[in-house]
Amino acid sequence: MSKLFPKSANKLPLQIIVYLVVLAGVVTAGATYYMTPKYTRVGYAPVQPVPYSHALHAGQLGIDCRYCHSNVEKSGVANLPTSQTCMNCHNQVKKDSPLLAVVRHSYETGEAVPWVKVHQTPDYVYFNHAIHVNRGVSCVECHGKINEMEVVTHAQPLSMGFCLDCHRNPAPRVREPGDVFNLDSATIAQKSGLEAAHKFLKDRNIKPPQSCSGCHR
């Protein structure tokens, strides 16, 4: 019988176990890296029906976010602008541009412009824009430097861990109310130190919920 299994076969069970441990490590690393929104969503930059540039409108021209997303301070939803909002300027500026044909068609017929949604939380997450911007959370915290983007690109994972990072420790991320819509502004902590940020939170009684029902219902 000694010929059937070579002597090296004695090590084989151990080698298989070692390999399985290595394999489990590789699979875990892969899943951790690839199976989260940090990989699946960050970088998503769909082709939009109109090549609207935030870098031009919000960055170069300095138009306030609220000019178009006009209900963001009043509503849970930061609305997309009506096509009339586009036509406020584009009934005169580049009014015959073929790139704006979709907007003109929408303005004349009332059909919606088929914008592609970039940032999308699951339906069981009830994110409220108004409550965040009115408490000093700037657009830039979740959306990145939109004012520098030619094409809107998903900048942050917007996963539950991402939300909780800030809900557990909001102090380094809050801004003065006047700075919320200025995406290049510094946070209170950067301007006047963490202590000032903690005071800001205390004065305004800002206590982000960490309970499930704070965001899920």
Partner 1 sequence: MRNVYLVTAFVVVLAVSILGFRGTPFTKPPIDVFPEWAFPGMKRQPKPYPQGASRFFADGRADRPLPPGVVSRDPLRNDYALYEGKAADGSWLRGFPSALTVDAKLMARGKERFTIYCAPCHGAVGDGNGITKQYGMGATPTYHDPRLRDMAEGEIFNTITHGKNNMLSYADKLLPEDRWAVILYVRALQRAQTGTVSDVPADHRKELGL
Contact residues toward partner 1 (CB under 8 A) are 12, 15, 19, 22-23, 26, 30, 33-36, 38-47, 61-64, 66-67, 70, 75, 77, 79-80, 82, 84-85, 87-89, 91-94, 110-112, 122-124, 153-154
Give the shortest CB-193-to-partner 1 separation in angstroms.
Answer: 27
45 within 8 A of 80, measured Cβ to Cβ: no
Q: For partner 1, give the closer residue by CB, 114 or 193.
A: 114
Q: Which residue, among 55, 52, 146, has the nearest Cα to 94 in the 3D structure? A: 52
Q: For partner 1, give the closer residue by CB, 87 or 166.
A: 87
Neighbours of 80 (CB within 10 A): 13
Give the shortest CB-195-to-partner 1 separation in angstroms.
Answer: 27
Q: For partner 1, give the closer residue by CB, 30 or 172.
A: 30
Give SS3 for 111: coil
Task: Give dist(CA 85, CA 70) in Å, integer.
Answer: 10
Helix axes 101-109, 83-90, angle to 10 degrees: 120
Give the shortest CB-87-to-partner 1 separation in angstroms.
Answer: 6
Give the shortest CB-53-to-partner 1 separation in angstroms.
Answer: 13
Identify the bridge partners of residue 137 per DSSP, sorted by sequence position.
Answer: 174
Identify the bridge partners of residue 216 per DSSP, sorted by sequence position.
Answer: 125
Phi-psi region of 94 (alpha: psi -120 to 50; beta: other; left: phi over 0): left
Q: For partner 1, give the closer residue by CB, 16 or 101.
A: 16
Give the shortest CB-162-to-partner 1 separation in angstroms.
Answer: 13
Give SS3 for 203: helix
Q: For partner 1, give the closer residue by CB, 156 or 192.
A: 156
